[in-house]
């Protein structure tokens, strides 16, 4: 098996990938993550996931490189990482009693063969009605300022949900493992 490289510095993605019990290393790609004019959210995450993998291609020949990128979409608006309390509060207030779809772009690049698999995995969160006070209590308790959508689904954030919908709950955290296993199997990686 070719060595596996996760093109990410995300602790969340690292933890998810470790669930597969495969040896891997991590490296952070340096790419411009700006949205192109007129680019759809799906096209954006697919492009960025592939760019992240390709950015490390020269430095990691003879590797399988995993790239991933995620955005949260509320209506037509892409929600980024809030970075602070005020933005997070505004995001969760806007999500109250509505649904947010998380789109996770995923790439597996074989740097030996050049074979590149790219996909986008959606996952939808249906939010409860959230009062300003409840949002503030949640944000003070968990401080999810580095998470698109302003919550941590693997933590207390689940208390904000009315329901979830999608084929792979791990895509919500940023690395769709079910789809990744499909890609790895196509590359001859045996799991387990």
CATH number for the domain spanning 51: value is 3.90.950.10
**Is 192 within a domain?**
no
| pLDDT score for 28 | 96
| pLDDT score for 81 | 86
**Is 87 within a domain?**
yes
**Is 18 within a domain?**
yes
12-31 pLDDT, tens digit per residue, is: 899 999 999 999 999 999 99
| pLDDT score for 121 | 97
| pLDDT score for 94 | 96
83-120 pLDDT, tens digit per residue, is: 999 999 999 999 999 999 999 999 999 999 999 999 99
Domain that holds residue 158: 4-186
| pLDDT score for 80 | 82
**Is 91 within a domain?**
yes
Is the pLDDT confidence value at 1 over 90? no
In terms of pLDDT, which residue wins out, 3 or 148? 3
120-150 pLDDT, tens digit per residue, is: 999 999 999 999 999 999 999 999 998 889 9
**Is 113 within a domain?**
yes
**Is 191 within a domain?**
no
Output the CA angle 20-25-26, nearest 5 degrees: 105
Cβ atoms of residues 173 and 154 within 8 Å: yes
Structural domain total, the chain? 1
Q: What is d(CA 132, CA 5) in angstroms, rounded to the nearest whole number? A: 41
Q: What is d(CA 172, CA 99) in angstroms, rounded to the nearest whole number? A: 13
> Which of the residues are catalytic?
69
Q: Residue 76: which pLDDT band, with cuts at 50, 70 and 90?
A: confident
Query: Other CB atoms closer than 10 Å to residue 75's CB: what's the count?
Result: 10
Cα distances from 64 to residues 2, 7, 25, in angstroms, run: 6, 10, 11
Helix (H) or strand (E) holding 171: helix 170-173
């Amino acid at each position: 098996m070719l060595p596996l490289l996760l093109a990410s510095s995300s602790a969340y993605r690292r933890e998810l990938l470790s669930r597969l019990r495969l040896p891997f290393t991590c490296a952070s790609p340096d790419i411009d993550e700006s949205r192109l004019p007129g680019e759809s959210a799906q096209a954006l995450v697919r492009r960025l996931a592939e760019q992240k993998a390709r950015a490390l291609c020269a430095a990691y020949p003879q590797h399988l490189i995993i790239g991933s990128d995620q955005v949260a979409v509320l209506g037509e608006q892409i929600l980024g990482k809030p970075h602070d309390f005020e933005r997070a509060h505004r995001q969760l207030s806007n999500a109250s009693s509505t649904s947010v779809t998380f789109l996770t772009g995923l790439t597996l690049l074989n740097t030996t063969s050049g074979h590149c698999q790219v996909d986008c995995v959606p996952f939808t969160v249906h939010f409860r009605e959230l009062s300003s006070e409840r949002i503030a209590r949640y944000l003070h308790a968990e401080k999810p300022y580095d998470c698109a959508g302003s919550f941590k689904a693997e933590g207390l954030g689940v208390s904000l949900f009315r329901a979830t919908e999608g084929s792979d709950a791990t895509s919500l955290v940023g690395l769709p493992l079910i789809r990744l296993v499909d890609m790895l199997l196509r590359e001859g990686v045996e799991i387990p």
